[in-house]
Amino acid sequence: QVQLVESGGGLVQPGGSLRLSCAASGSIIRVYTMGWYRQVPGKQRELVAAITGGSTNYADSVKGRFTISRDNAKNTIYLQMNNLKSEDTAVYYCNARLTTFMIGQNEYWGQGTQVTVSS
């Protein structure tokens, strides 16, 4: 059993900041990649940022504003979001691709956390 527990979402004014956290727990053997996706009504879920080992990648729309980081010991990732814009409003989902003892390699999703940027 693997669970992804998210926190940090909320309401923020344009130009403000939020920090999202996602902790993966369970019988994890290896984490291949973890990342953040977001989705708004009428659009497909899109990658915001991901981290695999020492490499990171970001959507063009958030480069220079968002930073993803990882605490390997805790299997936790963070998304520091600065200079938030109204178009960042979405449900943000944590994603992990990992291997467990019972299931093997699989993909897991958090329940999603709402980020609303509004004045």
- pLDDT one-digit tens code per residue, 73-82: 899 999 999 9
39-53 pLDDT, tens digit each? 999 999 999 999 998
Write down the pLDDT at residue 103: 86
Write down the pLDDT at residue 102: 86
Write down the pLDDT at residue 6: 96
- Which residues, other chains included, contact 86 with Cβ-Cβ below 8 Å and sequence gap of 6+? 14, 117, 118
Write down the pLDDT at residue 14: 98
Write down the pLDDT at residue 1: 80
**pLDDT, one tens digit for every residue, the chain (119 residues):** 899 999 999 999 999 999 999 999 999 989 999 999 999 999 999 999 999 988 999 999 999 999 999 998 899 999 999 999 999 999 999 999 999 988 889 999 999 999 999 99
